[in-house]
Amino acid sequence: AYTAKIGPSILSSDLARLGSECVRMLECGADYLHLDVMDGHFVPNLTFGHPMVECLRKSLGPDPFFDMHMMVSRPEQWVKPMSAAGANQYTFHLEEAGMKVGLAIKPGTTVEELAPWANQIDMALVMTVEPGFGGQKFMVDMMPKVSWLRGQFPSLDIEVDGGVGPDTIHRCAEAGANMIVSGSAVIGSADPRSVIALLRTAVSE
């Protein structure tokens, strides 16, 4: 009913080489790029905004799918700038401006709070760490949220983000996640191609 897609989180890459890191991940078999936007308010960290996305779009061409994870206090402020910059999916806002929409929940938020929106969104993102930083420990106790969503919404795209890698992918796959964000485990690996292939196989089998 659903398709496995692997999206490296470029937060874990050398940001001075962002463009070539994205190209490297795509060449290694990534299905999409997960772009973490942080504003220093919603989370205690700061990354980049639509000007960076625009540069990436110009440099990478029309094909790569940009999955925007908006960890910002006023997501509505950036819907149009992100769309204009070439984003393809906007997590945490209602559908607008030709982008798909994802809705994210922090670890402390119950899945029942997201459920009323599930029929109106393209993707649900179940955070498996407190948002803000790459390289944190996977929270396995989020998996019941994923299983519950998969049971209720068989064809919904369900994404997991935070601490996902070869050691934790099986729990995500079992629970029914199909969009797999992986930062440090993919980008920090000496062999990202194998890690991406392994993640895909785990979700596909």
* Minimum separation from the CB atom of position 69 to Zn ion (A): 4
39 is a site residue for Zn ion (CB under 5 A):
no
CB–CB of 36/181 below 8 Å? Answer: no
* Minimum separation from the CB atom of position 53 to ligand DX5 (A): 15
Pairing of the two strands 66-71 and 89-91:
parallel
Q: Which of residues 108-167 bind Zn ion (CB under 5 A)?
A: 161
Asked about 31 being catalytic, the answer comes back as no
Q: Which of residues 175-194 bind Zn ion (CB under 5 A)?
A: none
* Minimum separation from the CB atom of position 151 to ligand DX5 (A): 25
**46 versus 84: smaller Cβ distance to ligand DX5:** 46
Asked about 39 being catalytic, the answer comes back as no
Where along the sequence are the contacts to ligand DX5 (CB under 6 A)? Answer: 9, 11-12, 34, 36, 69, 129, 131-136, 161-164, 181-185
67 is a site residue for Zn ion (CB under 5 A):
no
**136 versus 194: smaller Cβ distance to Zn ion:** 136
Task: Name the residue among 187, 181, 144 with its Cα closest to residue 164.
Answer: 181
Q: Residue 132 CA to chain centroid, in angstroms?
A: 13
Which residues would be at the binding site for Zn ion (CB under 5 A)? 36, 69, 161
Cite the active site residues: 36, 161
